[in-house]
DNA sequence: ATGAAAGCGCTAACAT
DNA sequence: ATGTTAGCGCTTTCAT
């Protein structure tokens, strides 16, 4: 029963499989990669050997030899944001029928972290890079360009891509929401969101929003920005404070659904009728808040599709048999009116 | 200004840096890794060369040569579960002052996916594996044992580890909650949770819970299990259905905070007083629901610390200068009574 | 303080 | 259908 347990430490190599199965390393390699013609008999032998030995190939060596690494670097600001796990799901989904595998790096919204993570990732020579946002540091841009690796910037398309980009126009999203709100008859509008410098996409939505209001002669009546803490609680607090400050408000636009949900809960507790006395809208369309007493008006940020398309671009660049794809893909988010933005 | 742009494709190698800086590849390598003695002057020259060239080292080659890969494989069932991103945060936190880097693999709760992901990960010969749960398939266990790599199983300690484990006892967690509920005077208890086979830890909590109730002669009065969908909405629906079915209930125990939050919202809308008429408790202590009208009673699952400790174990195994650590670390979750479980 | 040689475990390219 | 030969770009070890 017992094998020779004398030294269990050295990892197995192709050579070991070769010896056990009695064929050359090269043939073993062929079997393992389903390459070239191998007779069913040898194939069998080799597979048996790998199984009984418990051989796991060494991709490090394989990658060095073949100059090919089937990894896609995915660089995102955070995992706790709801949004990014869904992007990941889209990426995994699209990569599932390719040999490519995603590897995640998290930057915590810090440009310096981004540079470090990117450097680490690039040092593995991945087959592609998917990175959130259009605004990277000069250093990061230089690294990406220099690498010669396919790069897809995601989430945002308001700007110039390094290579390819797929996302939505946050400016347009902000504009569309502003127009819908005005059209519904609301006039006294407050805004709540994340502290801007941290979040370019929220900033762009805000810019689009105020711009579209301005075009119709409306100005934001009140605004407030937060950082950190539980978004639900923050939404609650900010909404309370803003109601206090600006009682004439008849609409609250939130830069994300979670703070919007907090606001909604607060208003309902106060007995303020939504969307009658007060309209509300958020952004992202997160499933998480689906069980609230009312469905918050929002706008889909298309994150699953974004991940999917980005991954498909990388895949197409790495497989000449695939259709080449456009380098700029704009997705069009639609307004979900829910129950907190009355329809005109 | 322009360099020779004739061929921008070939990635730079140590050799390129060596030529530009006028020192041997070996010395360049030393500088880049801060190894051995290098004069300040050469150091300077080399660093300049790497900077101007934009050289990024090739870790594939480095890893093959040094037989060392500074990656830690982290294998978790899902990213959209709230819980796991926090584990990741703990891991990153602990790894930040080491040369190690986490790489995430997601299994979607599927044993076959787990095997595949594990195989892929192991083929990169990481310095450690952190994997969620104690129950892996035979194949997965064999791979882990065979690999000779340090393995830390996390989240759960009710069982035998392959190598090391850090987590909480979910059985004990279930028991403690049952005892607290009974002590508070509730007697007619309903349970809602995820479909069991998918989630061993929820199952263990349930077992501990019913066992502790049984000890005091109490049986679960009603129970319901769900899969998929928005947890908040599910909690709402299940709670409504259960109230209908079993109007005598005076306590609802939820296997996670999100469905508990849904239940809470539903009950409040129905005008049922919590925790007077009905007590509630969840599990996990997720910050996400902090802004609800009442704080749900819950139990901290210690996920940040779990990630941290697991990462520290891996780090200590890879660095002989670090203190060796215990292979079994049990964390003790505390009950947070919140506003939905009255204190006796 | 610096350099030269060997080889990590695979695969590409060429035999046979 | 199978085997042989050279590396891939680094780091280890040993010289100098």
Three-class secondary structure of residue A139 per DSSP: helix
Provide the pLDDT for residue B195.
86
Contact A232 B57 (CB under 8 A): no
Q: To which residue do tokens 């660049």 refer?
A: A317
* pLDDT, block means (10 residues), chain B with 344 residues: 49 95 95 91 94 95 96 94 93 95 94 96 97 97 96 98 98 98 97 86 96 98 93 97 97 97 96 96 95 96 98 96 96 96 86
* A35/C11 CA-to-C1' distance in Å: 11
Instruction: Give the residue ranges of DSSP H helices in A105-162.
Output: 111-122, 138-147
Residue contact A11–B293, C-beta within 8 A: no
Q: Which of A332, A327, A306 is nearest to A316 (CA)?
A: A327
- Contact partners, residue A104, CB within 8 Å, separation at least 6: A74, A75, A76, A79, A88, B103, B104
Nearest to B291 among A88, A230, A287 (CB): A230
What residues of B are in contact with residue A99 (Cβ under 8 Å)? none
CA of A26 to C1' of C14 (A): 13
For A213-227, what is the mean pLDDT?
96
Look up residue A330 and give its two tokens.
């704009």
Average pLDDT score over residue span A274-292 = 96
DSSP, res B217: T
Judge: B265–A291 Cβ closer than 8 Å, yes or no. Answer: yes
Average pLDDT in chain A? 94
* DSSP string of A198-267, one letter each residue: G-HHHHHHHHHHHHHHHHTT----EEEEE-SS-HHHHHHHHHHHHHHH-TT--EEEESSHHHHHHHHHHH
Q: Per-residue pLDDT tens for A175-207?
A: 999 999 999 999 999 999 988 777 899 999 999
Other C-beta atoms lying within 10 Å of the C-beta of residue B3: 8
* pLDDT-based confidence at residue A342 (cuts at 50, 70, 90): very high
Question: A131-158 pLDDT, tens per residue?
Answer: 999 999 999 999 999 999 999 999 999 9
Q: What percent of chain A has pLDDT over 90?
A: 91
Q: DSSP labels for B90-121? A: HHHHHHTTSS-EEEEEE-TT-HHHHHHHHHHH
Residue corresponding to tokens 């003790």: B332
Contact B267, A293 (CB under 8 A): no
**How is residue B122 written in tokens?**
């192991």
**What is the per-residue pLDDT for B81?**
86
Q: A4 falls in which pLDDT band (50, 70, 90)? A: very low
d(C-alpha B51, C-alpha A179), whole Å: 49
Both tokens of residue A87? 């992007």
Q: pTM for the complete prediction?
A: 0.94
Spell out the domains of chain B, with CATH numbers in brackets.
1-55 (1.10.260.40), 170-301 (3.40.50.2300)
Name the residue closest to D2, CA to C1'. Answer: A27
Contacts 24+ apart (CB under 8 A), A176-180: A176/A212, A176/A299, A176/A333, A176/A335, A177/A205, A177/A209, A177/A253, A177/A281, A177/A283, A177/A299, A177/A335, A178/A208, A178/A209, A178/A210, A178/A211, A178/A212, A178/A213, A178/A253, A179/A212, A180/A281, A180/A335, A180/A337, A180/A341
Per-residue pLDDT at A7 exceeds 60:
no
Residue whose tokens read 């009255």: B342
Identify the residue whose tokens are 């008849």: A250
Cβ–Cβ under 8 Å, residues B71 and B39:
no
pLDDT given at position A225: 95
* A33: pLDDT strictly greater than 80: yes
Which bases in strand D are touched by protein, i.e. have an atom under 7 Å from a CB?
1-13
Report the pLDDT averaged over residues A88-97: 95
Element (H, E) at A171: helix A170-183
Q: Residue range A336-343: average pLDDT?
A: 95
Taking the C-alpha atoms of residue A118 and residue B109, their distance in angstroms, rounded to an integer, is: 29
pLDDT band, very low/low/confident/very high, at A38 (cuts 50, 70, 90): very high
| End-to-end Cα spacing for chain A | 79
SS3 content of chain A, % helix, strand, coil (to 5): 45, 15, 40
Q: According to the model, what pLDDT value does residue A172 have?
A: 98
CA–C1' distance B329–C5 (Å)? 47
What three-state secondary structure class fits B344? coil
Q: Which secondary-structure segment (H or E) carries A76?
A: strand A71-76
Whole-number pLDDT of residue B9: 67
User: In the predicted model, what is the mean pLDDT of residues A273-289?
Assistant: 96
SS3 of residue B250 by DSSP: coil
B43 CA: nearest nucleotide by C1': C1
């Amino acid at each position: 029963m017992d094998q020779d347990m004398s030294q269990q430490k050295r990892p197995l190599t192709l050579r070991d499989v070769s010896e056990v199965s009695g064929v050359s390393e090269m043939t073993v390699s062929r079997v393992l990669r389903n390459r070239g013609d191998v007779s069913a008999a040898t194939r069998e032998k080799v597979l048996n050997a790998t199984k009984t030995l418990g051989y796991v190939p060494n991709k490090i060596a394989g990658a060095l030899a073949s100059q090919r690494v089937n990894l896609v670097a995915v660089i995102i600001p955070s995992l706790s944001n709801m949004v990014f796990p869904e992007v990941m799901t889209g990426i995994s989904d699209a990569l599932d029928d390719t040999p490519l595998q995603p590897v995640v790096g998290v930057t915590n919204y810090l440009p310096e972290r981004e540079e470090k993570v990117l450097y680490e990732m690039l040092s593995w020579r991945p087959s592609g890079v998917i990175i959130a946002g259009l605004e990277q540091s000069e250093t990061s841009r230089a690294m990406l360009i220099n690498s010669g690796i396919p790069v897809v910037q995601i989430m945002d398309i308001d700007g110039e891509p390094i290579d390819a980009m797929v996302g939505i126009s946050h400016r347009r999203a902000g504009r569309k929401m502003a127009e819908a709100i005005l059209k519904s008859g609301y006039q006294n509008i407050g805004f709540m969101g994340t502290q801007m410098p941290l979040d370019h996409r929220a900033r762009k939505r805000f810019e689009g929003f105020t711009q579209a209001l301005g075009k119709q002669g409306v100005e934001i009546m009140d605004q407030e920005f937060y950082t950190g803490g539980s978004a639900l609680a923050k939404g609650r607090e900010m909404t309370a404070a803003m109601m206090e400050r600006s009682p004439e408000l008849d609409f609250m636009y939130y830069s994300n659904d979670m703070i919007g949900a907090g606001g909604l809960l607060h208003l309902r507790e106060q007995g303020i009728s939504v969307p009658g006395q007060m309209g509300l809208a958020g952004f992202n369309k997160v499933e998480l808040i689906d069980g609230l007493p009312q469905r918050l008006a929002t706008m889909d940020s298309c994150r699953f599709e974004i991940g999917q398309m980005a991954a498909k671009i990388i895949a197409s660049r790495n497989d000449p048999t695939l259709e080449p794809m456009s380098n700029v893909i704009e997705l069009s988010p639609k307004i979900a009116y829910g129950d907190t933005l009355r329809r005109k």
